[in-house]
Amino acid sequence: MKSSKPPHRKRKENPSQDDQPPDTTKNGNAVKKTKSLYAPLTRDELVTMKETENLYRSGLFRLQTDELLKEIKLKSKRNKKLDLFLHALRDCLINIPDNMQELELDDKACQPKGIQIPLHLHDAQTIKGKFTFKAPTNIAVVGSYMIGSITKPVVNVDVTVEIPQECLHPRDHINARYYYRRAVYLSHLAYYLNRSNICKEIHYSTMNGDSLKPILVIKAAPEQFNGYFTIRLYPCISQAAFKLSQLKPTKDNIRYEFYPNIESKFKEETQQLGPPTPHYNHGILVDMSFSRHLKEIYLATHQKQSLIDGIALIKTWLYQRELNNGINGFNGFLASMFLIYLLQKRKLNPQMSSYQILRIFLVELGSSDWSTNGITFTQENSSDIPSMTEFSTAFEVVFIDSSGYLNLTANLSKTSYHELRHAANMSLQHLDSSYGDVFSNIFMKKIPYFTKYDHYIILKQLPQLENATIGQELLENLIARCNNLRSVMLRWLLVILERGLNKRVKLISVMPDDILKWPLSKKPPVKNESITIGLLLDTEQYSSIVEMGPSAEDSQAAEIFRKFWGEKSELRRFKDGAIKEAILWQCKYIAERRFICERIVKYLLQLHGKISSENVIYIAGQLDNTLTITCEDKKSVKSAISSNTAEEDTMSVIKSFNELCRVLRSLKSLPLSINAIQGINPVFRHTEIFPSKPAKRFKSRTNLSDSMPNQDIAKNVLLPSTEKTCPEWIPANEAVCSMELTGEWPQDADAVRRLRAALHLEIAKLLSQKHSLIAVGQADFVDIFKDGYIFRLHIAYHREPGLIRLADDERSQQIASELEKRTHLLPQLATMINGINEQYHAYSTTVRLAKRWLSSHLLGGYITEECIEVIVASLFLNLETYDMPGSGLNGLLRFLKLIGTFDWLNSPLFVNLNGNFIETDMAEIAMNFRENRSKYPVMFVIIPKNELNPLFSTPKLTNLILNRLIILAKESYSLLLKQLSSCAFEKNVDFMKTFRTPLEDYDVIINLKLEYVCRFHEGIDSVVTECHSDLNKKYMPVVNFDPVQCYLRELEVNFGDIALFFHNKYGGDFIAVVWKPDAFNPQSLKVSEMYYKNIKKEGNSKKLMMFTDKESIIQDFRLLGESIVSSIESR
């Protein structure tokens, strides 16, 4: 029976579910209705779209944010298990029996059996008093778990345990008695918890790295509960435990006599009982404020999901930048309190989206300065609370809570705060930018400490009090900080560095210490004395050789300047007539200017702290050795060749080239005048790893062409000899010469080529006759020998590539493309790269390190030099998660990270030159790239100038080689970070490891004779003997002759169909071979393809098949390179 069609109903404006007719099958059974793709939007969808338009950056950003929040929040299943454990923990703590026996604090009986008291006050008087243990009066869960903003991956749940008032004494706030009593109470809690069966692990730790505030870190027993989370147990006291007036920042709660060793160092008698102890008082106030702060946060966030989500996003932002670590960290609690402050000041609205809350948080954080103008929850006109001036005098950064007595940012140093503000401003630039993956840059990319800064200072130990130039103020700070020498001397050190480095750095950052954790049965461990400081350089001023001081007329300021700089300070007269105190840092080479900061740091630490340079590790130029040639003299003493700095070598080449250009322009006998001459080699772009040096010895290794029968060679040219050692490597520095455009140029490609050849010969003749230069003209170029350098000049006619393409055959198209690249594209690229190099000082070194790394891993032949230069340029031009690199080391780290993490398969790398890319163009290019992926190279790099993009194509690069490149980049990045972090405790870290490639994955290794590796001196581990010059200016040396490269080309031509060949042209003494996956597959018998094949029957079949003969191929490898191959290893 046919089912009747349901009657048509008029759609209501707001149809309910009951009004909708169900779809039915032939049997009359209802099926789930599927919504049509083209159905009108529902009311909820319209509301969501309107919210997205008004409250979020974009629809995609909202989707990404929603998915991130789902990912970082705890699942409800885990919450249930966590709640079970928290209830069990509360029951265990509440039921701890009271011990009414009074114990002496200095007696061993006060210490539980097998449990250590987790606090040691160094060089302090013994703390006396009575102690009675009672069960906690209140146990509460505080922090982000209570409001629902707890986030992964680090899941910490904070629980406070209130110490009963009976366990305290009204005078416990004096002389650290409260801190010691708190530690004793915590040890008793640890004793009872350790005997329970609900805890798997219990350790001592510290509250945000504060050694005076030990806590318990608990892992739940996995048999009963989920061990995924960590419980942190904080002892606290009630809000009425001590009078707030006793804990003002100006109050002195530690007496001088409590630390007799420090008191004895004072040169003058003190009139007070003790110095002000603001940080000491702050620690007690924090323990009194847990419940009040929890209440404030709960009331502000209750039923305000967007605010809770905003806190979760901010915590993720802080975590990815490592800004929440250590005692100086800006944690989730401070972020929550700041948002409440913004709500109070009506700068935030609970109806805002999580994105808007994040944005306003960053705006307010970046634009305010709490180090000069503190903020407070209280009214300034209140007379009962300390004034803002009192707080600003006692603390570097001020953010006062609602009580008016507690500075929430007391432990936040000025340097850490400015680092936080800098990160906020950088992230705001991302949010305002239409370029790149903003969401990924803000939330997804982890930024390790050793990738954020340009230079690093590692002190193996801080200066001792008796060695440092300290005054009474520093000794008072030491008492006020409970003899915490590390924090006091660190502050002293930062003051010295800030004053000494001045405008040379934008930021000085101290690497946060790891939070200590130790067993219950052990005493608190001694902190590692080493300290790491990062410097973010001002690239415009860091290399200045002059440090200007005050005028000689200001005698008081001049005296302070001289006292700080010591004997380095000199009175100098400047060009403008001013007479000032100044410091001059003499530099012989350009490269030395990059390390003036290192000289300043080591000098000041020696002057003011008597810290020898052996105890200061300055990380800046550790990788520069890879860009120098190591020379060994007759006494076997190794050193870098002093004149081998790339800057000097490059400038020498360019200076000689500019002189040659002037000579060429002066040639009046040419039929056409010269329009422009431009170098096209990497040396003219300042990106050559080893710029050419003046030729030293070549005559003794060659034969003169006069004695050779070949009449096609000029008479004054030297040639390689089979009877002598391989000639010295002498590269040709290529340049393009554009002649004037006239109607005299022929319109035939062959005629143009002949005219160019005639011009080459004429130029060579004129240079030889009129300027006594050795010049040899050829059909395609003229070689000119000047100042020991070879310059290869190509005459260019801009219409020639088009004339060649008229032939319309593959060979002509290839010739035209190569000619266009040399005469048109490379000059434009040189102009572009030189502009980048002028603007970003670390660009040249970064490019050279990147090329060195790629070549060392045998991949330089698969990625063009131009492509590498543009990829490195993206590190400086593309807005990323941090500042542009200011040193080669930092640049290489970011280059490795980019290569290892970029999605080359699905995305093109946009290099936004001059900001010319707009969002719509980029989206269109990216879509076209994904839709036609097979038409694009494996690694696709694009710039706004479309005509230059063919230069960055990598046709030889395959997916297989790209995967190896990505793996090597990731491993090198991890290794380099590990080595940088190990510099503090390891001697002679070998940074060359990053440039040594593993050979396990190669099938064949062809070892070469060193005497034929003409660039052996450029190898990573090569040591050469410096030779003396036998330069003879009468002959043209052998140019661009590298036997290894000739052999490599022969291998690729003859065996490229079955193998891939890898070689490091910078001193590599072997060629690595990988067989292609289908190289040894059986093939059908074909007479034309029987090279290196054996004919066999395949299995039981009678059909004859061809099988590749590996041994014959390897034997031909040897025969082809008979004179330069020493051995072949087959694996």
Flag whether pLDDT at 2 surpasses 50: no
Q: pLDDT averaged over the chain?
A: 86
Q: pLDDT above 70 covers what percent of the chain?
A: 88
Span 946-960, mean pLDDT?
88
CA separation for the pair 565, 569 (Å, rounded): 6
Flag whether pLDDT at 897 surpasses 80: yes
Span 504-515, mean pLDDT?
92
DSSP 8-state secondary structure symbol assigned to residue 821: I
Give the pLDDT confidence score for residue 424 in this predicted structure.
95
Q: How many CB atoms lie within 10 A of CB 671?
A: 12
CA separation for the pair 1106, 1110 (Å, rounded): 13
Give the pLDDT confidence score for residue 537 in this predicted structure.
94
Give the pLDDT confidence score for residue 272 in this predicted structure.
65
Q: Map tokens 């972020």 to a residue.
A: 335
Structure tokens at 524: 């608190």
pLDDT band at 14 (very low <50, low <70, confident <90, very high): very low
Q: Which of 343-357, 655-669, 714-728, 812-826 has the lowest mean pLDDT?
A: 714-728
Structure tokens at 711: 């009449």
**Is residue 478 within 8 Å of residue 464, measured between CB atoms?**
no
Flag whether pLDDT at 632 surpasses 70: no
pLDDT band at 53 (very low <50, low <70, confident <90, very high): low
Span 144-158, mean pLDDT?
89
Q: Residue 813: CA atoms inside 13 Å, Cβ hemisphere, count? A: 3
Handedness of CA 954, 959, 961, 962 (dihedral sign): positive
**Is residue 163 within 8 Å of residue 185, measured between CB atoms?**
yes
Flag whether pLDDT at 242 surpasses 80: yes
Q: Which positions ≥6 away from 557 have C-beta within 8 Å?
A: 549, 550, 551
**Is residue 683 within 8 Å of residue 733, measured between CB atoms?**
yes
- The model's pLDDT over 41-51, given as tens digits with 9 standing for 90+, comes to 777 767 677 77
Q: How many CB atoms lie within 10 A of CB 466?
A: 8
Flag whether pLDDT at 490 surpasses 70: yes
Type of residue at 98: D
Give the pLDDT confidence score for residue 724 in this predicted structure.
61
Flag whether pLDDT at 1050 surpasses 90: yes
| Predicted model pTM | 0.89
Flag whether pLDDT at 20 surpasses 50: no
More confident residue, 986 or 881: 986
Structure tokens at 792: 């290869």
Burial of 15 (0-12, 13-18, 19+ CB in 10 A): exposed
The alpha carbon of 1022 is separated from its chain's Cα centroid by a whole number of angstroms, namely 29
- The model's pLDDT over 108-134, given as tens digits with 9 standing for 90+, comes to 878 898 999 999 888 888 888 888 999
Q: Which positions ≥6 away from 971 have C-beta within 8 Å?
A: none
- The model's pLDDT over 161-194, given as tens digits with 9 standing for 90+, comes to 999 999 999 999 999 999 999 999 999 999 999 9
DSSP H stretches of helix in 73-115: 76-94
Flag whether pLDDT at 635 surpasses 60: no
Give the pLDDT confidence score for residue 1086 in this predicted structure.
75
Give the pLDDT confidence score for residue 879 in this predicted structure.
72
Flag whether pLDDT at 654 surpasses 60: yes
DSSP 8-state secondary structure symbol assigned to residue 473: H
Q: Which of 585-594, 640-649, 906-915 has the lowest mean pLDDT?
A: 640-649
Q: Which positions ≥6 away from 15 have C-beta within 8 Å?
A: none
Q: How many CB atoms lie within 10 A of CB 936?
A: 14
CA separation for the pair 556, 563 (Å, rounded): 11
More confident residue, 477 or 847: 847
Q: Residue 424: CA atoms inside 13 Å, Cβ hemisphere, count? A: 22
Give the pLDDT confidence score for residue 389 in this predicted structure.
92
Span 1011-1036, mean pLDDT?
74
Flag whether pLDDT at 623 surpasses 50: yes
* Helix, strand, coil shares, percent, the chain, to 5: 40, 15, 40
The alpha carbon of 68 is separated from its chain's Cα centroid by a whole number of angstroms, namely 24
- The model's pLDDT over 319-366, given as tens digits with 9 standing for 90+, comes to 999 999 988 899 999 999 999 999 999 999 888 889 899 999 999 999
**Is residue 1085 within 8 Å of residue 1106, measured between CB atoms?**
yes
Flag whether pLDDT at 438 surpasses 60: yes
Residue among 976, 959, 821 at smallest CA distance from 893: 976
Radius of gyration over every alpha carbon of the chain, rounded to an integer in angstroms: 37
- The model's pLDDT over 757-807, given as tens digits with 9 standing for 90+, comes to 999 999 999 999 999 899 999 999 999 999 889 999 999 998 999 999 988
Give the pLDDT confidence score for residue 124 in this predicted structure.
83
- The model's pLDDT over 186-238, given as tens digits with 9 standing for 90+, comes to 999 999 999 888 888 999 999 998 999 999 999 988 767 766 789 999 999 99
Give the pLDDT confidence score for residue 307 in this predicted structure.
94
Give the pLDDT confidence score for residue 1 in this predicted structure.
39
Flag whether pLDDT at 27 surpasses 70: no
Q: Map tokens 């604090």 to a residue.
A: 105
DSSP result, 862-895 = TS-HHHHHHHHHHHHHS--SSPPP-SHHHHHHHH
Span 1010-1020, mean pLDDT?
88
Give the pLDDT confidence score for residue 1069 in this predicted structure.
92
Q: Which of 340-354, 665-679, 720-734, 787-801 has the lowest mean pLDDT?
A: 720-734
Structural element, H or E, at residue 791: strand 789-796
Give the pLDDT confidence score for residue 23 in this predicted structure.
46
CA separation for the pair 1068, 1005 (Å, rounded): 12
